[in-house]
A = this chain, B = another copy of it.
């Protein structure tokens, strides 16, 4: 059954969106559609000509509105026959990118990040111990093998440091608590992206590396044994030493900066 036109009622159904221009207003209207028609990821929105008719807006405006939804990660556009705008789940990485924008102009220090990591990461693995699967443990073991051997070059040094952070991202993605998982993943991502950290990672740092390696072994052992409290302790120790090392490095680098 086709439901032809809620057409011109829309211009009136839509008046009281103060402060927004047409495209944003259209985007909000489409959002409302999604809500009260209960559309789920995978469902398709009407096509552009249809939207133009239904919302009484031109192509350009419709496109701007869809762009809004797309950058919010709510829909994904596809070309070709059968194409159009599809409702999609908002991926962690996109949400992380958006959130990273928020901290674009704020100064987030390494100290700020580690203050959170020290609190959250131990809790994360503590919860994880009770429900982690053997397949997931295997995945963690697999990641570890990446940096089995000491780095031979600066590039390898940085690669290993990145891999270590991705180990934490993997842990985060396994959490049953979406909030906790997302935040831990985001913190790891911030460390990966932060300019200051990049400089830190450029120098060899065997101390941090060895600490990382031994803790990971202990952590995996504790996780596969389902030993929550040991996992918690191991992670906490690791975070504390990592914090110390990173803060020392940060201080050193800023000192080097000042002397220029």
Contact = CB atoms under 8 A, between A and B. Distances in A.
A113 interface: yes
A148 interface: no
Contacts of A51: none
Contacts of A35: 255, 258-259
Interface string A39-58: 01100000000000000000
A178 B112 contact: yes
A121 to B, nearest CB: 11
A101 interface: yes
Contacts of A98: 72, 95, 98-99, 102
Interface residues of A, number: 51
A67 B89 CA distance: 21
Contacts of A77: 21
Contacts of A178: 103, 106-108, 112
Interface string A184-199: 0001000000000000
Given A41-B105, A103-B178, A119-B120, 6 more contacts: A72-B98, A95-B99, A98-B102, A106-B178, A112-B179, A116-B177
